[in-house]
Structure 1
Amino acid sequence: MKHIDKLPPFVLIALFALLALTSCKEVDDPLVPRVVSPVLVAIDGIPYGDFSTEPTVSYTKTGNVVLSARILELDKTNILDYTKGIDSLPVANTKIVISLRSTGATVAELTTDAKGKISVEKTWASLGLTAPATGNSVALNWSGSYKGQAFTRLSRVSVK
């Protein structure tokens, strides 16, 4: 059996190239199994808009909870022109389902208006809190589909 150090250099290069090509495999990122949303779901009641985290809107325990948002498509046509930038276009006539993350129960099914707005008023009991106390919160999903791509936005409502 030949020793590897006695092989001609071009054979070694060919072997290493073959190994490199066959060992490269594209894999999905196991830490970030997400797809970019086709829309921006701007939850109303969040100061300055909170698009990077799970926004929480607080309501009193004696009042009703108003779940409202604007659904916008980001037009990036002029992204490289600093005088124009990205434009936010309202998404009309799109069905949005608001559901409880704890049980999956549907809270509301709404359709966006011409300005991309949806809004519904609910009681704490309808959100699963029969005796709301300060500090309680309810986790929500805002889900829909736009241009054939599904999306979900997370948020919370809390008792203040």
Structure 2
Amino acid sequence: MKNIRSAISAICLLALVTPGITSCKVEDPFLEREVAPVLVDIVGAPFGAPIASEPTVTYAATATKLTLSARLLELDKTNILDHTKGIDSIPVPNITIKITLRSGTSLGEVTSNSEGLVTIDKTWAELGIAAPKAGSISRISWTGNHKGIAFTRYSQVAAN
């Protein structure tokens, strides 16, 4: 009788564990995910910012002009398996980027130059901070479209 109970317990345990092992990957029904067609590298952010979730660029609270810049790069993965060449970053020219505050206020539209660089000059007031002091933060969105795929990159501007 003990052997039968042990066998039944083992079968029940296996039945509970098996669905987790054999289940298929289920996509999130609420989020459509697509790989961004370009890498938006925020100029002036600390090292590692291209992969960071929200790179932050700091400016002096007394600065009268803030230059917001980003570099747009397309990743050429042709030689990904050749360790002597690897992945290449190619600047992407002529992409229109809409720069906005997260509140929805438009800061303007700029087009990337031949080096894939977009730049716009703003003041603290235009970034929604009337009297900047150390620790003031403005959250920014960089939105564009490349090869029919829309993308958005978030960043922050902070006063020090």
TM-score category (smaller protein): 0.7 to 0.9
Letter aligned with residue 45 of structure 1: G
Letter aligned with residue 126 of structure 1: E
- Asked whether the 8 Å contact 1:57–1:157 carries over to 2, the reply is yes
TM-score (norm 2): 0.79
Distance across 1 between alignment mates of 2:45 and 2:141? 16
TM-score (norm 1): 0.79
Pairwise CA RMSD: 2.0
What is the CA-CA distance between 1:149 and the residue it aligns to? 0.1
Give the structure with higher Rg (CA). Answer: 1
- Asked whether the 8 Å contact 2:94–2:111 carries over to 1, the reply is yes
Summarize the alignment of residues 4-153 of structure 1 with structure 2, pairs less than 5 Å apart. Answer: 27-29=26-28, 33-50=32-49, 51-63=51-63, 64-101=65-102, 103-153=103-153
What is the CA-CA distance between 1:25 and the residue it aligns to? 8.1
Q: How many residues align structurally?
A: 137
Taking only the aligned residue pairs, the percentage that are identical comes to 50
Distance across 1 between alignment mates of 2:84 and 2:26? 39
Which ranges of structure 1 fall in alignment gaps of 5 or more residues?
1-19
- Asked whether the 8 Å contact 2:100–2:142 carries over to 1, the reply is yes
What is the CA-CA distance between 1:27 and the residue it aligns to? 4.2
Distance across 1 between alignment mates of 2:125 and 2:26? 45
Distance across 2 between alignment mates of 1:27 and 1:154? 27
- Asked whether the 8 Å contact 1:43–1:49 carries over to 2, the reply is no
Distance across 2 between alignment mates of 1:106 and 1:119? 15
Which ranges of structure 2 fall in alignment gaps of 5 or more residues?
1-18
